[in-house]
Chains A and B, each alone.
Chain A
């Protein structure tokens, strides 16, 4: 359809859409143009960079897995069970989405800090302290990524015709069997899409991480934190690192898209 059938092209809309697309593409493009490519190989093999890359990969994958395990049941509940206060629960789940990440970090500190609601007993009883540790990075990432996972997966559950669950029930399947053998396989692409969003968010997480976990090379200095740190006295190096990170994220997304993420189309 060229648009003519419905009464001419919507010129104004096309113009605005073009400007929007340009705005989205321009900054990454500018970054590429402004990068000193000659330094990239050295930067990529620098031990600091490798440590940060590894830490980012580790924490984002762990956080995504945890967010999946925690988020899928909640998403199913929100999509399929009508319970009092469902709207309130959904609003609360979305809270980390609108919370400034720095504020999220401060909030995490007050709950998981050594004198916090959970952090206190955790330290007193088990000697575990989450802030300023690698597990702390994961906790921050899970907190930030969960809403993305829950929202995406809930949409997938909602989009599934409840008739399939009914059919499974009349064939003698318990709710659990139906979930395992019918519902989850059918919403797998939606779950993958939700996880991919959560992972991307986790990979880029900066504010909550630096507030709650700090900036320690090797333990809490993830790629975004490294970029920020380097930016303080060597902006050119920061640009190179940014390109590296963008490349890594792109590669992973493209690989995933081919495999699982039919739901993103």
Chain B
């Protein structure tokens, strides 16, 4: 079986509000999947449903081919998760939290390992009530990872983390994914997910509006040429007349590929009497393409 998670036809109402609208997607084993969407889109709701924390109106969720419901979910044995904000007992130390949840023969060494990996050694013996937001967040992540789960669900894990901790976490996720762990990670910081995710699922107002490998969504293979000319309007017109696809924006933006090369474009414009003041190259980034997806969907 290739998929560790299979979701189909999921619907959920909160009162009159539709939280999930026929949500369905699969996650392949060993993949890092980014769940992306604006706040209130339904990211946490999906994750909570997968973890058997909330009931749904219809649809089904399977983890390792076993159905998940709020009262029966033995398949979650090998799942680790951090949902919304870390649940922490203020009167216990970080290490005591890890001890509470760590299971199996290697519990102690697993605790030591995750504490070291997340660089929490300095404060792990302190009571959690003295922790900063970022420290609590790290502890929440450590709790999700301590038992070396096969499937990890992290809801906005970068929340409250400083850039250094952020980098540390990304590296840890990539390392564990290479070792075979599957990740479902939600975030509204798209660039963070773009750096690590294999696939992206985009959700808006409870609906999945895109579900594809990251390359397809980011068009990372597509390079843009951005020109500043003596007469941008005229340049755009000439390029269009010569069958180049030009974006309708203030600058002159052309997508580069094997047929469309910078040399050809420059020659055409110079021959038409237009001076080129500046040339820039840019890779299409996740934010732009995602915005495009969200925009397209509104139409």
A and B associate: no
A interface residue numbers (CB < 8 A to B): none
Interface set of B (CB-CB < 8 Å, partner A): none
